[in-house]
Amino acid sequence: MTTTQDRTPDAPAPDHLPGQQPTGAILLDLARNNVRQYGMLIALALIVLLFQIWTDGTLLLPSNVSNLVQQNSYILILAVGMMMVIVAGHIDLSVGSLVAFVGAIAAVMMVDYNLPWVVALVLSLVVGAVAGAWQGFWIAYVGIPSFIVTLAGMLLFRGATQIVLEGQSVAPFPQGFQQIAQGFIPEMGPYTQYHNPTLVLGLLAVVALLVQQIRDRRRQAAHDLTVLPLTLFVAKCAAMAAAVVVITLTLASYHGVPVVLLILCGLVLLLGYVMRNAVIGRHIYALGGNREAAKLSGVRDKRVTFLVFVNMGALAALAGCVYAARLNAATPQAGLMFELEAIAAAFIGGASMRGGVGTVVGAVIGGLVLGVLNNGMSLVGIGTDVQQVIKGLVLLAAVGFDVWNKRRATTT
């Protein structure tokens, strides 16, 4: 005897694999978890678009892009270090004065004592690291709040700069030292319409970026973490590669990659890796997130805090050398307000004023937001007084958004 079975209509195929969230849910989670960084990246793109239209295309001219990089390099270097300090739950108000002090030390060594510029550069970095260690000792091992210690350092290093320079500018510097901030990588190979080494570096950057994205995706999948659907992942990689290609062609159509951009990229890669993958990077995040819990977990809080300020001192020294090389002079008034620019860049780039949150790339994005604002407003003839007002409002909006986002997260 035959029997009939009830047949039900086939259900529509899901738009995602079993065990995988729908595409909309994945995008929503990514937006929520990365709202600050993605938001600032979108804001940077909109600011660039605004001033590109407002300046009739002048903003993204190859010469202006190179100038934009060189003009803001020292602030970006400071912002990277400041981000790490803020993530650890501290602040550093002395970096502007330390920039001036180290620049003065480097100038005296090269001009008055005729030391080779390479030796002067190395010794200047050592001086910066020692200055950071001095402040880190009082903060980490004595227990004085970083605000007070670095405020004292701001006064101390500013006065020391006046003493070293005797109130006068010291110049000029050797050509090699100037090339740190003003130079470009040399041209090689046959003549083309573009700078050949820059094209090679751009190709390597695209390959490295794609390899890193694929590795990250495989690692996330191996740990059963949420990953983007393949179509969106390919679109994301294509967009990132296209951005690198556009930047590469822009730089290659002028003089190529500025030397200081290579230095900055090296710092971002190195410190980004440290903060993401190294033990000390995880300890920095742990201290900023919950110091007591981190100490109970075995984190050596004093040692980590001390090293964070040593790193900040060395980066401030590097920024001081870059700034002096760009001016081709060391001046007593160098570095004024640099600490506020660096702090603003870190907060705009996603750092939380409570610590424990922030990325190295975010600090660079925040610094670029300020840099493009400065450059764009100067190109259209907006005065420095109005520029300060606008930058203050941008900083206030960024920190206010951080506070609002945290309140929203606690209520949901």
What does the pLDDT look like over 314-355, one tens digit per residue?
999 999 999 999 999 999 999 999 999 999 999 988 888 888
pTM: 0.88
In terms of C-beta density within 10 A (0-12 exposed, 13-18 middle, 19 or more buried), how is residue 219 classed?
A: exposed
* Mean of pLDDT over the chain: 87
Query: Could you please report the per-residue DSSP string of 75-101?
Result: HHHHHHHHHHHHHTT---S-HHHHHHH
CA dist list (Å): 402 to 315, 348, 393: 26, 9, 14
Q: What's the pLDDT score for residue 91?
A: 94
Structure tokens at 80: 């990277």
Question: 85: Cβ–Cβ under 8 A, 6 or more apart, which residues?
Answer: 91, 92, 146, 308, 309, 312
Question: Among 41, 74, 107, which residue's Cα sits nearest to residue 339?
Answer: 74
Digit-coded pLDDT (tens) for 223-253: 887 777 888 889 889 998 999 999 999 999 9
What average pLDDT does this structure show over 283-307? 91
Digit-coded pLDDT (tens) for 13-22: 444 444 455 5
Digit-coded pLDDT (tens) for 146-201: 999 999 999 999 999 999 999 899 989 999 999 999 999 998 878 788 899 999 99
Spatial contact of 116 and 304, defined as CB atoms under 8 Å apart: no
